[in-house]
Structure 1
């Protein structure tokens, strides 16, 4: 039975029972209520309108802000009369959500709730729209809404907008004959520099990094090309906006510049590396005389820690995964082939093959393990500028005959892979290798490790010898007798500590290898995820073109799988961020535990995790990566122990007892033998009391988890053990430390 038949049956049944139908009504004040609740702030409201331009496949959106008026104009595909009436005039429409990607470029749409037009109501009292559809550039639709009148109408279904169709008189940004222009008059808010800065923070990620980014040599439109320009009667607002929109590009660590010139039968390349923290290095080297001229500038970015103008690290990484790499421009036109998607400089190839020595630099410039500091493409944004027309004109007759000069392929998306191209590629890569060598040299110069001149056992042995000599001279001196006993005990302690250190070091090799493998896998999976999302967008577009709803359903399932995989990757996040790996500080226990539990959520599905920890309880100073590794092991062990339990529960409790602070992690699982629990912290010891069915799943690891837990805890002067669990719980792991420290 379909829905309408069910409704008819319900209506008929209720009519027989004496019920009368009544329809729901929506008060027109809902326009204002929705605008305030769903939009909330002026910069979000204006950003929603600009994102509409992005979703309409615009390449340029122009904003004008005056004291009492805001104009937003774009050169997107515009709206037909039907689209205006069925989409724009319907609040909460799902057309974007159903489509998923933009009409022409296949961009992932930024809006899905259908409330963008409420932004206009939130910002101003009246609205004028002029829109010209790309499908019919001869006519335009003019519309007008007085929001105050619409709200005063009483019922939402009686609120009015006025429109008409007339011959086109309007042009749009970039001199396009199609697009949309929105004029909001009678502004309801004053726009400050802070509002404009917040607006830029909403928009910078969808904007192309440079103005000419999308001017392609193939003359095709570029889906990634989108720019926002702001004009205002207040120069301060314009400066603030431009600064925020360029924020991501200003967070660089170093700038690499290069220039290749030819004079007669000689050609040289000059390279300079300027480090933002100080230090300038430059070199010249000879190249084959196959190129008349080329220039490049490459910025190396620091995608961790505090970013410029409040940019989020994760956003910056996503931005450079989309726009990064080293681009090639031919006489001002970008060649589409080059960039982050193509490893034309063999950067990722060398990373994957673990190469640490440059094959291009001369021996005098080599620094040990220099290529370990070669930036990945996701940390680069660079431009190589050439002119193939000029190269053809200046090539000598021999080069013209052999074709050995820079020239573009017939596809117009890349250069011909001849000797001239190899010369250009090697020169640019030479400059990157030079940067890596200087960066490694700087780090080694800054590293000042003070190693002891002699082992502690030798020093203690010498002191023992002096004490023994003193005792021979004063055999009855009680102080010397006790001192000799203390040094005997100290020697034994040093020997035991050395044995423990040797045992720990024997574990560090396999652990380091496993960690490097995990990082390499994460790096590769990140690239694969980016490719998977591109293929998913193509699948959605193909489904839309074919009108097959089953394709959209399959795409949704694939997207859900990608999200699950992405959530699994979050477990490696503390290892990937240098701040998490290297920055030592006292972290709030509750925040750390909640974040770790969130990161490992794909591995503890179905487990209830409760927290009873006060906000003022702090862990001993350490890196987030250390505490993350420790608590990941403990929580996963606890979750595995509950696999045969109907209601799987973990509780994290923290508190203080005198001068000691502690955290206890309880679970209601299989439990451990408390008399034998101490040995579980030894390497390769395992005790997982599960059913045979669960054991067949291969749960558990190599028995190193709790060993790692103890190593980290002792490094940070904390103690770990299993303790008697409270009533209702099976196992309790506890870590304690001195809160005074």
Structure 2
């Protein structure tokens, strides 16, 4: 029955088509609709259809922000070889206003309107990646930018004047009334009109009516910000052309640049107002340039005339996915001594509004990189967490990364034009840009004698005393005259800066001393508690030993059987635990005894390590640890030091190794200690096969209270982790002329710490 009805319907449609074709003026839409229904009734084939409301969704979902929509339309003018685009807002302070965008580009022919403008997601710009007159690289290639007009307003009057033709074309689009849910996109037609014009008149005019959003002054300022930064600010000045554009012919192919005018204000005037290039970027403390060549080799350069820095480094890593990349940045520190007299508040405000590292692809900006809340290089995150102590927020940089479609084919914008696809090439680009900026700013910090990372040890900042500056001013000051003051305002400001810097230095030293004092108080209280513990254990040793002997005699008198066997097993465990307790008690008592005299003595390194091994051999056996000692030079002796401090170093290393190996869940745990003489230092190496130490923590592990083992299992010896152990080791090493550091482990091990002290003279 269904097949019969379908066949009957097909016959009706064929008759309708035949009747329409016999007319003098057939209605081709009727024929097209009937023909499409015949094709769709084919029982052996299906095809997609498109709801007319899909046009609405494209505009709303692919273009999220109104500034992005305007930027996309400006890019279209650029692609059409326009030299100027004019934006005029009318009644824009409330919804329902009008925006007219007009350019002097090449315009569109009837065929281009049908094949490109009216075709969703066309590949026309991919097929022709460069513009025909000025050979510009196309800014858009996905064929969706035109739907920005739907995002902006309810109605569009599209008017285009193709170059060289005596007529133009006009099309009206009613987005909200024609493209509605339930209608087939094939059934929505827009009438195209022709109008007369001069052959040399060319360009495109978009009149967007009934704007969906209000455009108050702050919104238009955001558009200006987007326009100014649409192309890289370092080269924007070279693209500006004063006065009217000179006539352009296809024979010259000289690109005169691209100008934007919004409500009568030109881009040149606005750039002057923001003063990005001329009055601000020239005040940068340093200039950073970096590049990746076609072979993946990277180089980074940093130059600062103010600090006499001109450094360059070649990156060891190869960047095989990015393709050739260029990076440029101006680096600012918003302090009086780095701004050469520029107002700090003004400079800081510029940083907040315009700072950041932007990405430009084919000469046009890719959002959101470099926006105020964007942190694609994770600079703000690391500065806020004090992983970096140098000024390295996004607002400290004014720069860009330059990409090109031909040279960097793995980088593609998302369909919403809000960012690049985050593939492996993007990850590689991010790592390169971050490394280049961090290396450069660390070089500047070093030149300024500033602490660079939270874990940088042994750092001593040079601070000029205010009295030295005043003395220098007096010595260099000529005799005062009636017309000249004894001390100028500039010299007063120098003294003020010196006083503020010195006060800040004193406060930092005071804070550091308080923190260190707090650590010492904690250690002192721990030391007293441990001393009492050791004394009590030693005092209880005799009584507990006697009780255990009596208990053993009672067990021996019990008849054989399961109960006696169970009690004997429990007794053996109790005996082992008590022996371990007495070992620890004796160890602590011995440490306290050797420390009480405060006498320093030369230590045999091999003897101290072997004694430590014997003391903890039972515990290490219980922990399934295979212990290796490699000290071939038995004559090695340290400079005079406390034996308890040397033991404390080894114990801290051991407890950390045990935690690391537990975390790694290795079946066979290995710990190795070696010692050797290098110059006048004895180097003690301690290795394990645990999880190792991440590179970012290699300096931080020696900071007080830094720990990665909070909440871990406490077995009575290793402890839960307080973050003080390796800080104590570091202080012991430094107090005896040595140091402690993470080193490269030998084969079979994943972590190596090296502790050094002065050898016996």
TM-score, normalised by the number of residues in structure 2 = 0.37
Asked which structure has the greater CA Rg, the reply is 2
TM-score, normalised by the number of residues in structure 1 = 0.38
